[in-house]
Amino acid sequence: MSKRAFGLVDKILHRLVMHRWKRMAGLADQVSLDALRRVRLRALEIRQATDRVLFVSNGRLALPLIGSNTFPKPLHSDWSWRPQLWRGPIFPPGQAGVESKTVFGDEVTLFHDCRVSEITVRQLRNTLEDDLSPFGMRVDVFKFDGSFLSLVIEMPESAMRGLNRKHLLRMNAVIETEKPLEIFARVNIQHGPNTEQMVRELPIADKELSVDFDLAYTKLNEKRVERAWIDLIFEGPEMNQVMLRDVNFSRRPRAEV
């Protein structure tokens, strides 16, 4: 944005606009209903713009920095990644009564089979001293009449480049739950017509957790890797709140024995 936008002319215009809206506020209970409707429409248009400015500026002015991809990685890691939802603001930041296959950001999709959804999802700005991720994701589940609830994280194309059976794939996460809850992580790697799957239960007793997936135990066809994604599966999530303060991934070659 040009520095001119914050110069003398901008200050004068801002004072004039503020004076005008203060005057309108003082006359709001006296003008005709037709005039009041026109004023309200203009006020709503301005509020939409200012709400957007406040949303973006609050995110940019808080710590950790927007877009941060900083997190601890194992020695010799050759790839690392934090999904957009935990890295930068998404819009809208949340939804209530979330339907299955609702997408959040570019890579995260929520799946469930509830007849009536009482699931609320919201992206929140992380502000704790030990937070490394700029944003977190809060999932509130009230009544749950389904059989499954999962978050699917689509891996970027960079995760597939050079991927082979000598790799260890690590998922780091910072997760808080209102009540004890079983959460499983399942890695899916599509190669040609086949899909390799590996499942790990997350050690949810630890706030900051890591799980490794050793691709040596798969039948991965390294020349035909096409797609990879992670399922986070929540068992019995009814009347619970799950806060995913961070989710990130890294990859490293296994040490030769």
Q: What is the pLDDT of residues 38-59, one digit of tens each?
A: 888 988 888 888 888 877 776 6
Torsion angle of the four alpha carbons 60, 61, 62, 66, in this order, in degrees rounded to the nearest 10:
20
Considering the domain architecture, whether residues 149 and 240 belong to the same structural domain is answered as yes
Same-domain status, 39 and 93: no
Radius of gyration of the chain (CA): 24
Are residues 245 and 131 located together in one domain of the fold? yes
Has residue 84 been placed in a domain?
A: yes
Number of domains into which the chain is organized: 2
Q: What is the mean pLDDT of residues 100-110?
A: 95
pTM value is: 0.73
Spatial distance between the Cα atoms of 143 and 202, rounded to a whole number of angstroms: 24
Residue 148 burial (C-beta neighbours within 10 Å; 0-12, 13-18, 19+): middle
- φ/ψ bin of 11: left (φ > 0), alpha (ψ from -120 to 50), beta (otherwise): alpha
- Find all residues with CB under 8 Å of 106, minimum gap 6, and list them: 83, 84, 154
How far apart (Å, rounded) are the C-alpha atoms in residues 224 and 163?
10
DSSP letters for 173-196? EEEEESS--EEEEEEEEEETTEEE
In this structure, of 26-30, 57-61, 77-81, 90-94, the range with the lowest mean pLDDT score is 57-61
39 and 107 part of one domain: no
pLDDT at position 248 is: 95
Identify whether residues 18 and 107 lie together within a single domain: no
With 90 as the cut, is the pLDDT of residue 151 above it? yes
Give the residues across from 231 on adjacent strands.
152, 186
Give the tens place of pLDDT for each residue, 225-243: 999 999 999 999 999 999 9
The answer to whether 202 and 187 have CB atoms below 8 angstroms apart is no
pLDDT category of residue 168 using cuts at 50, 70 and 90: very high
Give 62-81 pLDDT, tens digit per residue.
556 666 667 788 889 999 99
129, pLDDT greater than 80: no
Distance CA 22, CA 81 (A): 48
3-state secondary structure of 37: helix
Q: Are residues 31 and 87 in the same domain?
A: no
CATH number, domain at 197?
2.60.120.260
Same domain? 102 vs 32: no
Q: Give the tokens for residue 158.
A: 């960079």
Alpha helices by DSSP H, the chain: 8-27, 33-61, 84-87
Query: 45 and 94: one domain?
Result: no
Q: What pLDDT, on a 0 to 100 scale, did the predictor assign at position 200? A: 95
Same domain, 97 and 174: yes
Q: Name the band, by pLDDT with cuts 50, 70 and 90, for residue 60.
A: low
The answer to whether 180 and 222 are in contact (CB under 8 A) is no
Could you tell me the two tokens for 159?
């995760």
Domain residue limits at 53: 3-61
155 with 222, same domain?
yes
Is position 68 within any domain?
no
The strand pair at 149-154 and 108-112 is best described as antiparallel
Q: What is the mean pLDDT of residues 159-170?
A: 95
